Amino acid sequence: MEVVPLGSAAEIAAVAADVVEAVVRRKPAAVLGLATGSTPLPAYRELIRRHEAGLGPSYAAVTCFNLDEYVGLPEPEIHEQSYRATIARELTDGLGIRPDQVNGPDPSPDSLPTAGERYEALIARAGGVDVQFLGIGSDGHLAFNEPGSSLASRTRIKTLTAQTRKDNARFFGSPDEVPSHVLTQGLGTILEARHLLLIATGEGKADAVAAFAEGPVTASCPASVLQLHPHVTVLLDPAAAAGLNRLAYYREVYAAKPAWQGL
């Protein structure tokens, strides 16, 4: 795991955009894994800014897979807080990526029992995810794999914790309006992506960051499973990095990183 302490959310956005653009330049038909939430928004805006300025690569041939989706929203295809609508609004529309290039778990009630395996099959058919954006919950969740999730889990339905519903209430009127269920890629699914790009910003993430990066690998902190993946980049602002014991060492490693190596 490469932990990269950076100076600000803006610096993180630039580095994350560099990573994604490099993947798409190298492989125009790249498969991008997309997260929602507040954390990736500066990076998404930076990608759109560069695209609109004619500086980015063409996204005409990419395929996207969303990490997760709420279950139980009215009219999930168009509900403004559905993750399908959020990803279109916050990223893919701005990059000229068509809706048919973007996949998400299917939350329609009749097909829920098979939604997980169908989504896994779609990801496999696309050849797997090349670069996966990730955020982290204040309780250490990864995608919506809440504490206690199997480290080998696959895409399936999960129940959100009261903490996550409270954290996400800012997107809705109140915690009661946040759906209690979601479809989420499993931890085993996420581990199959070739490059994992986790971003954490703000002091509310400091404990979760210290736990997943420097604590034991345990289902009690689902993001700690990333310690088992061979290519993880963790981009942190100073507040999110504040609880790390090896912070000085991570800074030293990044400052001395050979230019040819990249992230």
Kindly list the catalytic residues: 68, 139, 141, 146
Among 199, 200, 116, which residue's Cα sits nearest to residue 150?
116
Q: Nearer to ligand F6R by C-beta: 20 or 35?
A: 35
DSSP 173: S
CB of 167 to ligand F6R, least distance (A): 7
The Cα-based distances of 21 to 16, 49, 165 in angstroms read 9, 12, 33
CB of 182 to ligand F6R, least distance (A): 9
Across the chain, how many H-helices and E-strands are there? 9, 10
Question: Identity (one letter) of the amino acid at 161?
Answer: T
Q: How far apart are CA 69 and CA 59, in angstroms?
A: 23
Q: Which of 59, 65, 70, 144 binds ligand F6R (CB under 6 A)?
A: 144
Examine residue 91 and tell whether it contacts ligand F6R (CB under 6 A): no
Examine residue 135 and tell whether it contacts ligand F6R (CB under 6 A): yes
Examine residue 39 and tell whether it contacts ligand F6R (CB under 6 A): yes
Examine residue 137 and tell whether it contacts ligand F6R (CB under 6 A): yes
Q: Nearer to ligand F6R by C-beta: 39 or 153?
A: 39
Among 51, 215, 204, 79, which residue's Cα sits nearest to residue 136?
204
Query: Which residues sit opposite 70 in a β-bridge?
Result: 182
Q: Nearer to ligand F6R by C-beta: 68 or 120?
A: 68
What is the Cα Rg of the chain in Å? Answer: 17
CB of 53 to ligand F6R, least distance (A): 26
Q: How far apart are CA 103 and CA 122, in angstroms?
A: 8
CB of 249 to ligand F6R, least distance (A): 26
Query: Which residues sit opposite 234 in a β-bridge?
Result: 3, 198
Per the CB < 8 A criterion, the answer to whether 33 and 133 are in contact is: yes
Stretch that binds ligand F6R, among 55-63, 137-145, 172-180, 211-219 (CB under 6 A): 137-145
Binding mask 48-67 for ligand F6R (x = CB under 6 A): -------------------x
Stretch that binds ligand F6R, among 52-60, 73-81, 140-148, 242-250 (CB under 6 A): 140-148
Spatial CB neighbours of 253, under 8 Å, sequence gap ≥ 6: 2
Q: Which of 4, 36, 48, 234 binds ligand F6R (CB under 6 A)?
A: 36
Applying CB under 6 A, the residues found at the interface with ligand F6R are: 35-39, 67-68, 135-137, 141, 143-144
